[in-house]
Structure 1
Amino acid sequence: MRRLPVLAIALLLVAACGGTTPSAASPAVSAAPTAAASATPAPRVSLKVNWTALTGANSGLWTAVEAGYFKDESLDVELVNINSSSRSIAALIAKEVQIGFSDGANTVQAVSQGASVKLFQSVTNHLVFSIMATQSVKDLKDLKGKKIGITTIGSSTHTAALQALKLAGLAQSDVTLVPLQEVPNILAALVAGQIDAGSVSPPTNSRAKASGFKELINLATDGPDYPSVAIAATTEYMSANADVMKRFVKAYSRGVDRFRRDKAFGIASIDKYLKIGDPAILDDTWTQFSKYLELPPYVKGIDAVIVEVAATNAKAASLKPADIFEQTYVKQLDDDGFFKTLGK
């Protein structure tokens, strides 16, 4: 099973991509801004923004929404949830959303097929995933011949599983990957004995530990630099809306800063969207992602992703990092000294 056919299918079947909008209630914490909003209000713009997996990686976005930072930038953001990076890219191309979460591997695959999309900021340059397994699995090498749960082929959970296998000297053909659609379903399958291991992110890795499963590796701490989660748009939209893109990055970055500094507000944001309820799991999720969300959100490590994808997709071999990401908006804010104002 390879990502390329799946992504190609996704690009053709964009009409099937659906989304849901979270409820309007805000966390019961003061949403006072941490940095001054734009002095002169910009024209109001409506944006549909897609987040993918049920994971704390979305915390910066959620916190920015709940704190009103997008509204400060005259951006009316509607959140939708399409639970796959490849389907998120398809939705961008179909103009169902203007901005969407993605990852390095799927973006390289899409661009190699001629898709006019680019990453414009990172979320995390680490694979914030753990490979959780039953106690009978000794180590990563022992995964050979075993069943590993992921969400979908071409997802970030798939990428994380492949990276873990690579570190153990194994290939995808050495295991059976079991697509389970949502990260929480992976833990459910572990509990039911339907799989031997699973590629999961916080808070599901915390729940798995609490349920007695073994962490074979935490790729966030023991894996390579990797643009695991980033945010993308079409080149057409970016070219026509450069100021909107810069305002989005600014509001999002304020959200990450608030998430890191205001634990109570950050945890409330996580719980609103993930509906965890368990204080210990919420605390652990905040602790993990407060370390791993990038700020300034430059995309890093894309060179290695191009090489990885090119190993099975010859069209990717000629791609350069500049074909995959556009860092103009982050750099402009950096040059303006914006990131130095955060936390003050």
Structure 2
Amino acid sequence: MLALSGPTGAARADELIPFKVAISTPVVSILPVFLAADGGFYKKQSLDVDIISTEGGTKGMQVLLSGEIQAMHVGLSPVVAANAQGAEVRAIASTTNTLPISLFSAKKLTPPLPKGTTIGISTLGSETDIALTIALKALGLARSDMQINQIGGTSQRFAAMSAGRIEAAPLLEPGTTAARQKGFTEVYDLSAAKTPWIFDAVVVTTDYAKDHADAIQRFLKAYVEGAYWGMANPDKAKEVISRRFKTKDPAVIDSTYNEFKRLMPRDARPSVEGSANVIKQLASTGLKLRSEKVEDYVDLGPIDALEKSGFIAEMQRQYAVQ
């Protein structure tokens, strides 16, 4: 990492710290990654950030562990699963401390999901996969009753439903509004329960966190300010949503923006209760965990440092976001 002296601020291009962050798919819960880029906050923090899409959290975790990227935006379930296999990964910030997912079917079925229904998820072990298990249980069904296919992110699952390649899928914004507009049937809304969870978070390896604490603080400052900037400037944030999510539909853009504001923790702090729920849920599936302690999957230190420095309070004063 390049050594920097003096206060944090804009720097020449040759002084910027390279930083690669991956997203699993372009959905509402990763919006701060884009807002920080389009608002110029990465450069403000002397970072040269490259945003990469891995189309799936499980695959993204593999890329993170390879050392090719510095951070991954993914839910806690892949973190728990990776650590069960010997990895040392921690979630350090969160955008979504509930399950913002609805299960849709492409047409009205009787019963809502007959046995043998073909359902698309992103990848096995992903947040959408775990969410599907929870939804099926609530409906009195089991995974073994269904045909579950790995399709990819929300946009891929929506396209697969539209093309008739799958019959149902868990979706989140911008996919949920698009699904309602298309006449798809909402079978089960997990978001209504407001179950504490860690659906999407910034994740790093413990080695990187230990050796590059300054780079992580810079990234989180840009990330959090990007979120505040977006919440305080709806027109600019909606432009980012339109461009990054490749949609011109005003209803989809508005719904995605409103969901972002609803979901985003103002301090970007991962929920301890949500973390415990993820760990408990994965343990119930038979996954052999190395630990059931939240601190073995979540590191609150970086967010604690932002708060102690007064940065979060300054964001609240500067942007006046409720």
Distance of 1:81 and 1:159 partners within structure 2: 21
Q: Pick the aligned partner of 2:160 from 186, 189, 196.
A: 189
2:46 counterpart letter in structure 1: S
Report matched runs for 1:210-289 at 5 Å.
210-289=181-260
Partner of 1:305: 278
Let me know the Cα RMSD of the aligned residues. Answer: 2.0
Distance of 2:20 and 2:240 partners within structure 1: 19
Give the CA deviation at 1:252.
0.5
Deviation string 1:229-254 (CA, Å, 9 cap, x unpaired) is 11111111110011211121111011
1:179 aligns with 2:179: no
Partner of 1:112: 84
1:200 aligns with 2:179: no
1:101 aligns with 2:68: no
Give the CA deviation at 1:159.
2.1
Partner of 1:52: 24
Distance of 1:312 and 1:253 partners within structure 2: 34
Partner of 2:55: 83
Deviation string 1:212-270 (CA, Å, 9 cap, x unpaired) is 11222332233411101111111111100112111211110111111112111111111
Distance of 2:175 and 2:136 partners within structure 1: 20
Distance of 1:98 and 1:322 partners within structure 2: 20
Distance of 2:42 and 2:20 partners within structure 1: 12
Which is worse superposed, 218-227 or 264-273? 218-227
> What is the TM-score when the length of structure 2 is the normalising length?
0.88
Partner of 1:16: none
Partner of 1:150: 121
Q: Is the 8 A contact 2:56 2:123 kept in 1?
A: yes
Distance of 1:330 and 1:291 partners within structure 2: 20
Q: Is the 8 A contact 1:137 1:196 kept in 2?
A: no
CA 1:265 to 1:84, structure 2 compared with 1: closer, same or farther past 3 Å?
A: same
**Aligned partner of residue 217 in structure 2, secondary structure:** helix
Distance of 2:291 and 2:8 partners within structure 1: 43
CA 1:298 to 1:138, structure 2 compared with 1: closer, same or farther past 3 Å?
A: farther
Count of residue pairs brought into register by the alignment: 306
| Structure 2 gap segments, 5+ residues each | 1-5
Partner of 1:62: 34
Partner of 1:8: none
Distance of 1:179 and 1:340 partners within structure 2: 42
Give the CA deviation at 1:284.
1.4
1:325 counterpart letter in structure 2: V
Partner of 1:121: 93
**Aligned partner of residue 59 in structure 2, secondary structure:** helix
Distance of 2:261 and 2:227 partners within structure 1: 8
> What is the TM-score when the length of structure 1 is the normalising length?
0.83
1:50 counterpart letter in structure 2: A
1:319 aligns with 2:285: no
Q: Is the 8 A contact 2:81 2:125 kept in 1?
A: no
Distance of 1:332 and 1:139 partners within structure 2: 51
CA 1:143 to 1:238, structure 2 compared with 1: closer, same or farther past 3 Å?
A: farther
Deviation string 1:11-45 (CA, Å, 9 cap, x unpaired) is xxxxxxxxxxxxxxxxxxxxxxxxxxx94448731
Give the CA deviation at 1:95.
0.8
CA 1:126 to 1:68, structure 2 compared with 1: closer, same or farther past 3 Å?
A: same
Partner of 2:3: none
CA 1:260 to 1:217, structure 2 compared with 1: closer, same or farther past 3 Å?
A: farther
Distance of 1:207 and 1:139 partners within structure 2: 23
| Structure 1 gap segments, 5+ residues each | 1-37
Deviation string 1:46-96 (CA, Å, 9 cap, x unpaired) is 101111112122211101110111111111111111111111111111111
**Aligned partner of residue 198 in structure 2, secondary structure:** strand
CA 1:293 to 1:137, structure 2 compared with 1: closer, same or farther past 3 Å?
A: farther
1:323 counterpart letter in structure 2: D
Partner of 1:336: 309
| Identical pairs, percent | 28
Give the CA deviation at 1:157.
2.0
